[in-house]
Amino acid sequence: MTKKRTPLGTIFSILGYIVLIAFALTMVVPFIWMISTSLKSPGTEFSYPPQILPTEFNFSAYRTLFVELPFVRYFLNTFFITACTVFGQMVVCSMAAYGFARLNFIGRDKIFVLYLATMMIPFQITLIPMFLIIAGMGWVNTYQGLIVPGISSAFGIFLLRQAFLGVPRDYQDAARIDGASEWTVYTRIFLPLNGPALTTLGVFTFMGTWTELLWPLLIARQEHMRTLELGLAYFNARPNAFLQPNWPLLMAGAVVVMLPVLIVYIFAQRYFVEGISLSGVKG
């Protein structure tokens, strides 16, 4: 038997929905305005009264982006770097997480705590030493210089270790009785059973690498090595930088940068939430 809702409860429910809708609009409206501005003609983005939707859709900004500017090269660079970084994170972090979760060796827990403590060190502190190492190896303006520093993370190892600890040990013992090696146990049992956690790590890594600006700014010195974020940042560094910025062009570039992240998150949302809950990581 359902409990009858009182008028006061109905009022509070309506107010709650209004508050939620208001907060949702604060997140959605900037994206709508960005897409709308990218479809406007230059000079009409500041018209009064403001136009939420353009009176005439103008795709010249996107044509300029991909025909007159090397944005296709930026896109391919970003895609290659992100794909390699995501793959590297899944391989390196999952192997390290398996070792910390199920292998017994001297000082395992102490080493893990020390490794976990690196999460409290800001990236800006390790930025200069890491750059000096990459520069000393001659990896400036190279793909390996943009990829290798990001193929492992303390957070990724922590996330997957927590997920691996949730796998019943009986599975591992049964596989060993059947003669399975550690590599077989890792690849045939732990990886398939922790697909949501791996997907979660992949989404985090994808979003972080795709939108990364500071590290490519240091490593990608030449134009053909630039990523999307770096290319977008250099728009105002062109010869007409002191003139009025071309806002439709800038917004078109922002849409191109944002769209893949949004698509990946929408399609992986179910696995993302499940992976967070299974790994025991709480917000």
By the 10 Å C-beta count (0-12 exposed, 13-18 middle, 19+ buried), 270 is classed as exposed
Residue 278 has pLDDT above 60, yes or no: no
Digit-coded pLDDT (tens) for 50-106 = 777 777 888 888 888 888 888 899 999 999 999 999 999 999 999 999 999 988 888
Rounded average pLDDT over 33-56: 78
The rounded distance, in Å, linking the Cα atoms of 15 and 179 is 62
For position 282, what pLDDT does the model report? 43
Digit-coded pLDDT (tens) for 127-172 = 999 999 999 999 999 999 999 999 999 999 999 998 899 888 888 8
DSSP structural state of residue 238: S
Digit-coded pLDDT (tens) for 164-208 = 998 888 888 888 888 888 899 999 989 998 888 898 899 899 999
Residue 239 has pLDDT above 70, yes or no: no
Q: What's the chain's average pLDDT?
A: 85
The rounded distance, in Å, linking the Cα atoms of 40 and 55 is 8
The proportion of the chain whose per-residue pLDDT surpasses 70, expressed as a percent, equals 90
Digit-coded pLDDT (tens) for 259-271 = 898 888 888 777 6
DSSP structural state of residue 69: S
CA angle centred on 9, ends 8 and 13, rounded to 5°: 120
First to last CA, the chain: 35
Helices (H), the chain: 7-38, 60-63, 71-102, 108-117, 123-136, 143-147, 154-165, 169-177, 182-185, 191-193, 195-210, 214-219, 228-233, 247-267, 269-279
For position 26, what pLDDT does the model report? 85
For position 42, what pLDDT does the model report? 75
The rounded distance, in Å, linking the Cα atoms of 147 and 216 is 10
For position 124, what pLDDT does the model report? 84
CB atoms within 10 A of CB 177: 8
The token duo for 156 is 């990724």
The token duo for 66 is 């991909």
Digit-coded pLDDT (tens) for 203-227 = 899 999 999 999 999 999 888 999 9
Global pTM? Answer: 0.83
What are the b/e assignments for 111-128, b being 16+ CB within 10 Å? ebeeeeeeeeeeeeeeee
If one looks up domain 68-279 in CATH, what number appears?
1.10.3720.10
The rounded distance, in Å, linking the Cα atoms of 42 and 246 is 7
What are the b/e assignments for 195-227, b being 16+ CB within 10 Å? ebbbbbbbbbbbbbbbebeebbebbbeeeebbb
Residue 9 has pLDDT above 80, yes or no: no
The rounded distance, in Å, linking the Cα atoms of 248 and 39 is 7
- The structural domains of the chain, with segments of one domain joined by +, span 7-60, 68-279
For position 171, what pLDDT does the model report? 87
